[in-house]
Each structure stands twice: as C-alpha cells, then as structure tokens.
Structure 1
C-alpha cells in the first residue's frame, strides 16, 4: 500500500459513501422489478450497489430469467422509467441525508489541501450534490456518460485520479460496494471500503461506518 504521506487526493463514490441515496435507488429498482415480475430480495439489492443503470437493469432481468425478453429500446425505456421514479424520490432529499461524519471529513480534507473528485456511476450525482449542499467540494467529477466500462472495471476510478492530474498511487478511493472496491484496486489506488468487512474484504482499509472515516484513522491504517 502507498504510504500516507504520498497521498494527495481522494476519489469518492457517492451512493452509500457521501449520502444514503442507495435507499432511493433501491426503492426505484424495487418498483421496476415488481413491474417486470422479478422477485426482489436483499441479495439483488446488494448486487446493484455501485453498478450503472443499464447494468443494474441487466442484473434484474438475469435474476428473473428475462435476459432476452426485451429489445434494447425497451430496456432503455425501462431504465429511463426507473430514473424518473428515482428523481421523484430525490425531491425530498436534503443535508440530513449526508452520512455521519462525512461533512466534517470533507471539510478536513479541504483544510489539509487534498484534492477531491467524484467517481459515481450515477448520472444524477450533480443534482444529489446540490441538494446535499456539497457541490463546492466536487468541482472535479467523472462524467459517467463518457465511460466505456462500468465498475468493477477500473476506468471510473482511474479517470477520477486523472482529472485531478494525480497518479493512481497518489489517490485513495472510497467505496461501499464490492464492485467499487474492485474498481479502485484495479486502478492502482489505495482502497477504503465502508461497510460489511466480509463483503469488502478486498479493500486495503476497512471501516464499518462513515463515522470512522478520518484522516487520523487512515494514517494509522497506512502506518
């Protein structure tokens, strides 16, 4: 792992790391899965975390044995419908949705001159950041529409470092999903996994809660 002193930037996922938007995604996907006649369960919900919209739809269809049941145009229409449901749910979001400790952590990173970028698969991340009042922290954002590959491919986190003009080994990536941690590792960055230790065992550093995400704790973990 990279030494703490060499770290110059942090590349963040959004859902489940900065704010609990995953609950809105889950509700919207649940609505669509029910419409498609696919049984919803916790395992399927976990599999969708950190995955792009179209890839998430494919996972739902696969779970229901419906992979070849729809045309590409129909799939895109369903993905759009899910997003419309999600945006409607987002209207109730405000700063209270910021996960514990994250606002203080972001302020501390800025205070210590770390560079920050956002590597979210969500095309709605600018809207979410505005609603949370955190947009000023993330002027550097990876545009998911420009990506060729979704997580666990390293492209999004590699791009997150590149837009900061930093090497991957100068960055720490922060994720709450297994696919996201795999993406960070494959990009050559130091990975922090937030959540279940067993699920995120591949992460270089594990914290069970965002409350534990502090520079002091990271420095200790990299000592």
Structure 2
C-alpha cells in the first residue's frame, strides 16, 4: 500500500475548465497578428507558461518579435483572459471535484495547488475553493515552468511532505513529466491516449473518493 500523505492539484483542466478561456484569448491575439490558430494548435500550450505559449504562436505564424513587443502582447492576452475568468462561479467547478476534496480532507491528507497560472488566486477565489488548500504554489512563486518539477517540489516542501508521498493530478503532458521528474505518483485527468506517461489516468472526479483512489493505486 502506498503511503500517501498529500495531494497536489494542477488547476486548469483539472479543477475547473478554464482551458477554453485561454484558447479564446490566444485565438483573439493570434487573429490580431494575422495568425491562424486552431484548437489543435492550442493543445501545444497546455501546461506551458504565458511567454513560452506566445513563442509557440509566433512560431506558428512565422513571426519574430523583440522581447518588449512580446511582453506587451502577453500582457494583452492576459487582460482578455482575466476578463473571461472574472465571470467564473462555483458552478464552473468540474464535476465531482468538491466531493473529492472533501474526502481527502476527511482522510487527513494535506492539499496543495501546483499550477503555472499567475491568476490562480483570482480563479480559486471566484470558485470559493481557496480554503481547501494548505499551500498554493503558482506562476508567481516559481522561476521554472513544467516539465521542470519546481512547482511540485515547492508544493511538497510547503506541505512538509516527501515527494514520494505525494500524488499529483495533471491534465497536460508537460505536467505529467514535471510530476515524474519530482519523483511523485502522477494521475492524469483526460485521455489515456494522450497522457500515456501517467501512472494512472482518470476521465474526471465523478463518483471518486480517496478510498476508491487508494484501491486503484494499491
């Protein structure tokens, strides 16, 4: 039996469906730059930092810009994204998440957020999820992005828990790689065909409890 003491969650696509708002904001920016940007292209941005995402889009469009121009574009995208997510409510929390968080708490485990998003606090506040977390590590607290394990290692440190006793929930391959690099058990949320490196893949948290999870990872 695995001795699990803590759970670390990614945010976008795991607890809340904010990926569509990232897509809308990036697509709006790409259109302004006369770049064709598809849903398939957007898959490349999952778990990737804002500036690296912009570099991918510019590469798709064959554009080269100086750093000052890129900073202004990334800021513009974020303004649009914040406009979208400012309208989030608890109704936007993905199915089963609240019950699963409650079951983790009942079993005495610690909970952390490990997200690349710099807007995590705004999202958690709007969703009324903040109080569930013992530690929140986001894009404002790390210098390296996934697949670098920094965000998850800092989460484990904040929870005073060894990485080997942590489970990470992720929906992006870069996040899966980061969890593996951190020496943590990783559960993918999404498709088994995409998240092949995860130790286990779930479609979501519907009807999931920590007791059921223990049986799956035993």
TM-score, normalising length: structure 1: 0.94
Residue 20 of structure 1 corresponds to: 17
29, 43, 47: which one aligns with 2:40:
43
Residue 106 of structure 1 corresponds to: 101
Where in structure 2 are the equivalents of 1:21-100 lying within 5 Å?
21-66=18-63, 69-100=64-95
Where do 5+ consecutive residues of structure 2 fail to align? none
Deviation of 1:165 (Å): 0.8
1:146 and 1:134, CA in 2 relative to 1: closer, same or farther beyond 3 A? closer
CA RMSD of aligned residues (A): 1.3
Residue 125 of structure 1 corresponds to: 120
SS of corresponding position for 1:39: coil
Deviation of 1:91 (Å): 2.3
Where do 5+ consecutive residues of structure 1 fail to align? none
Residue 145 of structure 1 corresponds to: 140
Residue 195 of structure 1 corresponds to: 190
Q: Which runs of 4+ in 1 moved over 3 A?
A: none
8 Å CA contact retained: 2:120, 2:138: no
- Cα separation, 2, equivalents of 1:217 and 1:46: 30
1:44 and 1:156, CA in 2 relative to 1: closer, same or farther beyond 3 A? same
8 Å CA contact retained: 1:9, 1:115: yes
